[in-house]
Amino acid sequence: MTLADQAARAADGIRSAVAAIDPATMQAMVAELARAARVVCYGVGREGLMMRALAMRLYHMGLDAHVVGDMSCPPVGPGDLLIVSAGPGGFSTVNGLVGVARAAGARVACVTAEPQGAAPQAADLVFHIPAQTMASDRGAAATSVLPMGSLFEGAQYLAFELLILALRDHLGIAPDAMRARHTNLE
């Protein structure tokens, strides 16, 4: 298989996964973000990188957005939203943070490929991205040309950018306002 063929298969896999997201779920996530006083994002590994990318875009939108583990991350409470990523349905740290956030009165949204997992089942909102993760990358379940959880992570990136576009429209934020919040310390 040529590099071009692999790229086409990978891109088609990401497109298919994002196209399969329920539009009502996208709108529910927009509504959750629009009403949140503060948004805190968390994920492990490469999913964590995608969550950091989402937090950055939320900040560019002017939202009070943070990443769990950063020294400047404030506590969460009523009116706040914790967004966790648990592609395969749960991780010990994700499950623990969901419990802490709920006990503090925050709402929880879980981005996952496995909505029956422990983390999504404990969340207020499940953002289901039907894509291969490390939980489904072996045997007949492995359909992506991309290794392990890469299909899910790539789909997260695209889905999050589309989420930002929908949220930007919902909140009436101009693209130039987002650009004005981009760092100049590069």
Of the options 3.60.20.10, 3.40.640.10, 3.40.50.10490, 3.40.1260.10, the CATH number for the domain spanning 19-136+146-177 = 3.40.50.10490
0.75 cut: is pTM over it? yes
Per-residue pLDDT at 139 exceeds 80: no
Q: What share of the chain has pLDDT > 90, as a percent?
A: 85
Give the pLDDT mean for 46-69: 97
Model pLDDT, residue 148: 77
Model pLDDT, residue 137: 67
Mean pLDDT score of the chain, rounded to an integer? 94
Model pLDDT, residue 135: 72
Model pLDDT, residue 129: 97
Cα separation values, 4 from 11, 19, 119, 149, Å: 10, 22, 37, 21
- Give the position of tokens 């409470």: 77
Residues 30-54 pLDDT 10s: 999 999 999 999 999 999 999 999 9
Contacts for 164 with CB less than 8 Å, ≥ 6 apart? 54, 57, 58, 60, 61
Phi/psi for 107 (5° steps) reads: -85, 160
Q: How far is it, in rounded angstroms, from Cα 121 to Cα 128?
A: 12
Please identify every residue annotated as catalytic.
153
Per-residue pLDDT at 132 exceeds 80: no
Query: Does residue 12 contact residue 146 with C-beta atoms inside 8 Å?
Result: no
- Give the position of tokens 């900040």: 59
In the 3-class helix/strand/coil scheme, how is 23-71 assigned residue by residue? HHHHHHHHHHHHHCCEEEEECCHHHHHHHHHHHHHHHHCCCCEEECCCC
